[in-house]
């Protein structure tokens, strides 16, 4: 699957997803965020988690972002390691508790909820 948020090597073991992604230095977002001090916007980290979940669960749509913590900047060229633990939550939603790391260092924590449906 090709997306705006490409993730690679998506694997699932016991409802735990893992994937990799690269903060592509050629992405035009780095030119404007911020000039002279390029960092990846935090929204991109959420989208990489979302792409990881959708790569395995397909037709789900994010309906709630319950928690987000950005713990350190992500720079052009950094390789991201994404880990997402999935579980059923109240009301039949799919809960996703995820972390994003760069070289083993925690850069973000994300909690999302998904409902069935949505694009492929």
Catalytic residue among 6, 12, 29, 33: 33
CB distance 29 to 40 below 8 Å: yes
Active site residue 113: no
Helix (H) or strand (E) holding 31: helix 29-32
Measured CA distances, 103 to 74, 78, 84 (Å): 11, 8, 17
CB distance 84 to 22 below 8 Å: no
Return the closest-CA partner of residue 51 out of 76, 74, 27, 17: 17
DSSP assignment letter at 33: S
Query: Would you name the residues annotated as active-site residues?
Result: 33
């Amino acid at each position: 699957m090709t997306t705006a948020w490409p993730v690679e090597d998506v694997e699932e073991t016991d409802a735990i997803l893992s994937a990799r992604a690269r903060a592509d230095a050629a992405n035009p977002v780095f030119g404007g965020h911020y000039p002279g001090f390029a960092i990846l916007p935090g929204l991109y980290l959420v989208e990489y988690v979302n792409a990881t979940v959708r790569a395995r669960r397909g037709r789900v749509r994010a309906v709630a972002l319950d928690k987000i913590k950005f713990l350190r900047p992500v720079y052009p060229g950094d390789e991201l390691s994404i880990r997402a633990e999935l579980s059923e939550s109240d009301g039949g939603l799919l809960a996703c508790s995820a972390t994003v790391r760069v070289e083993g260092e925690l850069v973000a924590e994300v909690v999302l909820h998904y409902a069935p449906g949505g694009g492929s």
